[in-house]
Copies of this chain bind each other. A is one copy, B any other.
Amino acid sequence: MTAPRWPDVRGILFGADYNPEQWPESVWAEDVALMREAGVNIVSLGIFSWARLEPTPGAYDFGWLDRVIDVLHEGGIAVDLATATASPPPWFSRAHPASLPELADGTRLWWGSRQAYCPSSPDYIAAAARLAGVMAERYGSHPAVRMWHINNEYGCHVAQCFCDASAAAFRSWLRSRYGDLDALNTAWATAFWSQRYGDWEEVLPPRVSPTWRNPTQQLDWWRFSSDALLEVFRAERTAVREHSDLPVTTNFMASRFKPLDYMAWGQEQDLVSNDHYFLGEDPAPEVELSLSADLTRGLAGQAPWLLMESSTSAVNWQPRNLAKRPGQLRRNALQHLARGADGIMFFQWRASRGGAEKFHSGLVPHAGIDSKVWREVVALGAELRSLAHLRGSRVHARTALLWDYEAWWAVELDSHPSADVRFLPAVRAYYESLWRAGITVAVVHPDADLTSYDLLLVPSLYLMRDSTAAALTERVRAGATLVASYFSGIVDERDHIRLGGYPGALRDLLGIRVEEFFPLAAAETVQLSQGGTATIWTELLAAGAAEVVETYVDGPLPGVPAITRNSVGEGVAWYLATSPDPATLTRVLVTAAREAGVAPALELPAGVEQVRRGDTVFVLNHTDRDVTVGGTLVAAGDVAVLPAG
């Protein structure tokens, strides 16, 4: 990653998506006045303006945008200007029907909502790059414009397209990866099921088929599809840079979005930005928010990042869109800030009156400014100004959680031992145990430099490259503590089994050998020897060099080791062969952390979060009761911002 470049805006960035074209021009002046009242210092502009800016092919109407930008500039509001390419206008789709996406079953997706384009459509890419260039040429020198917002949430609705153009692009990508068909046939193991390819033209996307498609084909399809959208991003960025050297970003959707390899995408951003929305019905949504923030920081190479979108209260796209309770808007914002955000922005400035997102909250709600939401927005703006010193500071973490999108894609392919083994829940369990212990985690790619981390977590890293196994071994030998879960290190990057006993990549490091998986039935629970329980998975494991920490009391494998610990060089490698209950998992992880010299926060009440950024400690009380932490009273729902002791 190149060094981050940020827009020329002072203090913590604070603002929102601004969609003035949805409102009469007479409202704009009031908008700017209210922005100033709230302390907004930047807005994202033009994201969905293509149809308005280019109402018919090649005929532009920039007058209204000129006026908006001028009004904002007069008000001292900076602009994060979009390339306006997020959704092509109806005329574009009608003129280029081959640009419409197709599902795996051949269903064509039509215009009438948004993002109705095939990521590999040459027509779309050309048109998007052209518009991006026109925007940069016209506005790149306007003093209000400080950064570029390339497109918007790439792939959020159409991350993969199965049309013929995509098939051709996939073949090109595969030619680059494999060189010749023999290499592809070997990697894809096409000797199985008579799948051998004799001509490149025979190779297709994994369209619907009588039964499971080739797993390596599927894995390469995930890789290709992420790369195809990355090419769109690059084409737009290139067009912008011909006219402007302002920083560029595109807004990610970490942590729940699977299709894009954001670890790779992060390398291409001047600054990493992210959209995060609170999941009302998650049993612990505050943990999910923290994980998203820590992941985004990982995508930024542990540098500060920008929260590009979040909500002041309810969203509109969940089955039941829970509103934020009083104080929650502030607490969620400070949570992002504490975990490395240098800007807090929202979708959107003014709640829409019509359209599919009209029930999404905004900074100015339907009820107007005599409202809880507006008052909290104004207060947040003031508080962020008081925290301007945090900008640029780093979050403290000595624990690394290995996160690899390729491993995520691979572990969730079909036809596996158990459909209950899912990437996010596995990662979340490990993450949540540490969160509750007050141990801050850095989310890192397996190829990252691990030397600054003393505790290494490897949950469900099913696909593991040789280099990763070597790096982990080296780091443990040098004194680190590693904790690996079952179904890690099982296959190589081709999704080929590492033979000779599982987990092939980590067998020696862990000092064990597994000869057979014994997944548990749905809802089956087994007892562990120290009183805990476990679910999902067991395996026929023989401890070699490793010490047996726990065994199964019952289930399919009574007496067989469930948790082991292996001393290697100066370090230790733990292995959890099952999915233990949260208390057991926490006990193991805290023990491992202490071994690694990573101390948990003392006596942290349940539901209270503690994290340090720079010289500031944040204590966030997500509960509805007052608590005392380290002598500080933190009221229900409140946040204490303290100098590091």
Contacts and interface: CB of A to CB of B under 8 A. Distances in A.
A469 interface: no
A452 interface: no
A253 to B, nearest CB: 13
A90 B515 contact: no
A546 B540 CA distance: 59
A601 B223 CA distance: 61
A194 B88 contact: yes
B323 A204 contact: no
B417 A211 contact: no
Contacts of A495: 354
Nearest to A49: B194
A203 B90 CA distance: 8
B193 A420 contact: no
Interface in A458-496: 494-496
Contact of A322 (B192, B368, B515, B521): B521
- Secondary structure type dominating chain A contacts: loop
Contact of A217 (B94, B112, B116): B112
B368 A499 contact: yes
A34 to B, nearest CB: 15
Count this chain's copies in the assembly: 3
Contacts of A29: none
B196 A52 contact: yes
A110 B208 contact: yes
B48 A90 contact: no
Interface residues of A, number: 119
B213 A354 contact: no
Interface in A24-54: 48-52
A195 B316 CA distance: 19
Contact of A513 (B101, B367, B494): B367
A206 B110 CA distance: 8
Contacts of A111: 195, 202, 204, 209
A60 B65 CA distance: 67
Residue among A215, A356, A417 with the highest chain B CB neighbour number at 10 A: A356
Contact of A354 (B90, B215, B322, B354): B215
A113 interface: yes
Interface string A104-144: 01111111111110000000000000000000000000000
A422 interface: no
A150 to B, nearest CB: 16
A212 B502 contact: no
A298 interface: no
A556 B497 CA distance: 51
A113 B320 contact: no
A373 interface: yes
A194 B158 CA distance: 17
A314 interface: yes
Interface stretch (A357-365, A404-412, A424-432, A628-636): A357-365
B321 A418 contact: yes
A138 to B, nearest CB: 18
Interface stretch (A72-80, A183-191, A269-277, A569-577): A183-191
A363 to B, nearest CB: 13
Contact of A314 (B88, B89, B372, B417): B417
A70 B340 CA distance: 67
Contacts of A199: 90-91, 94
A419 interface: yes
A232 interface: no
B216 A354 contact: yes
A130 B147 CA distance: 66
A557 to B, nearest CB: 9
A192 B354 contact: yes
A371 B515 contact: yes
Contacts of A415: 316-317, 356-357, 359
A460 to B, nearest CB: 15
B500 A210 contact: no
Contact of A325 (B359, B418, B501, B556): B556
Nearest to A524: B320
A321 B357 contact: no
A208 B517 contact: no
A113 B417 contact: no
Contacts of A280: 521
Contacts of A89: 194-196, 198
A513 B50 CA distance: 37
A55 B90 CA distance: 45
B107 A195 contact: no
B354 A321 contact: no
Contacts of A209: 109-113, 116
Select the residue from A50, A89, A201 with max chain B CB neighbours within 10 A. A89
A30 B68 CA distance: 77
Contacts of A418: 319-321
B211 A50 contact: no
A549 to B, nearest CB: 22
A189 B352 CA distance: 9
B354 A188 contact: yes
| Most chain B CB atoms below 10 A, which of A22, A320, A417, A540 | A320
Contact of A210 (B158, B314, B520): B158
A88 B94 CA distance: 34
A322 B518 contact: yes
A61 to B, nearest CB: 11
B356 A320 contact: no
Interface in A305-360: 313-314, 316-317, 319-323, 325, 351-359
10 contacts: A48-B192, A91-B202, A112-B195, A113-B209, A212-B356, A314-B516, A319-B522, A321-B418, A354-B494, A367-B514
